[in-house]
A and B are shown apart, each in its own frame.
Chain A
């Protein structure tokens, strides 16, 4: 099974082409933020260097969010368009889970973090059990203080990874030695790991309805919902 795996959830871009559990080609870079400009070119190059044609692909795996809104939209746009147009499988993976795959040890609770600014974060809690990643607390957009209250219920060491910089001090004040900060490469998601991990996951049924997992309403929608608590679930887009 030939798999194309894409993770552009934040500043790092990571794309890989795999054959089953075997890596064919992979590019991971942190030097460019403008994924829109690079994503299609990198995919074309990696597929070509794997000696494949687009039509040889069997499956697309994509990090669906949370993350940078534009970043996850670029990856999901490519993934859903490619799987629709080639009529191949599409597998969606949490961007926080994708990053958590960097931690091989099962002795930690794994706490991936994307900085949501102003003391907010996109985060979740994972743990390795017999090679699988178990989701302990679901992915969410939260204030760091509220999140730490939840973590206080656990005794095991917690490893934090991703965009941890602005949260390290707060974590250490609350969790002291229980918290371990991941080293540099562990903070960068690797599409190849996500691709291999997804071999056991089910593809989505309805490709056309796929959207990124933003985990946060736009400010305009949130403000509107406050004023209109009973509305909001209808379909606002009509084909004319």
Chain B
């Protein structure tokens, strides 16, 4: 019997991940080799170091993914791979390895946008229903993606400067927290009070775009000013005030988006989707709305190949295919739709 099995590759940043996904929903294996401890030495991801780790890990991850799924190459339907956006040198390892495996075993090759992958983390739990909206928030991305139907992705809003997760890492450094700072800041934010009232940039503007660099600067200036006059600030209050500003803007813009584009489901995905402050706030906001809230499962919020396999299965059904000429596209983006 022919099974619907996708072998998927994800190497866009600091995780080498290979998965086997059945029917677009079932995770047979999802191997994730994370480089976080390595980059913690440098306080953030160093691209050349990331590439060096990826090439070291890639084949053992493929072997483990197939072994754990108990499938061979003959069982596979297709190979799917993240080809952007991300770090070019990191993407190239996954893309090149995926092209090689596909060619060696005469398998179709499906190119997957990393953002589509994040959104499809929700699909691993339950089928996405359209039209749908996705808020994708991570260390590298902050965007609202409108999906009128399957395989249609339109950006209606995105960050104009820092990604939300990037802002967390930068203010984390000021608080003495190593990258990735999101989890610890989130924990501290649950212990303090919003006493600093940091700016909610672009919150009142009539668009769906975000900006976090002003908030980051306000935070850093507040801490530096206190240092200079010898005043000590409550770190939990700082964290709470920062997180409240981030969550306010993310939630307000997202609610406005689903009011402008009626959708069946709101998907929240990406590394920052693991943030409890954000999850709690959106759960609260959508309680009395007709839109179903689909928070990506916590273990699948960060980068992983399972989500790429789920998106890959959908794209494969839509005959989205590539070949040996596939290249990494570090700046890959969905089309941006201006608000009319």
Contacts and interface: CB of A to CB of B under 8 A. Distances in A.
Contacts, number: 124
Given A41-B325, A236-B53, A85 B34 contact: no
A42 to B, nearest CB: 8
How many A residues touch the partner, as a band?
35 or more
Given A220-B48, A220-B49, A81 B38 contact: no
Interface in B93-121: 93, 95-97, 99-101, 103-106
A207 B59 contact: yes
Nearest to B92: A36
A238 B56 contact: no
Question: What's the interface size class on B, roughly?
Answer: 35 or more
A208 B61 CA distance: 9
A82 interface: yes
Given A37-B325, A81-B101, A82-B104, A239 B59 contact: no
A54 B95 CA distance: 18
A54 B73 CA distance: 14
B252 interface: no
B42 A37 contact: no
Nearest to A223: B42
Given A54-B103, A218-B48, A238-B37, A81 B42 contact: no
B37 A81 contact: no
A207 B97 CA distance: 14
A81 B34 contact: no
Chain B residues touching A, majority SS: helix
A237 B34 CA distance: 6
A239 B34 CA distance: 6
A184 B55 CA distance: 33
A44 B95 contact: no
A211 B42 contact: no
Contacts of B64: 239
Interface of A: 34, 36-37, 39-41, 43-44, 54-55, 69-70, 73-74, 76-78, 80-82, 84-86, 207-209, 211-212, 214, 218, 220-221, 224, 228, 236-240
Interface of B: 16, 31-35, 37-38, 41-42, 46, 48-49, 51-53, 55-64, 73, 89, 92-93, 95-97, 99-101, 103-106, 323-325, 327-328
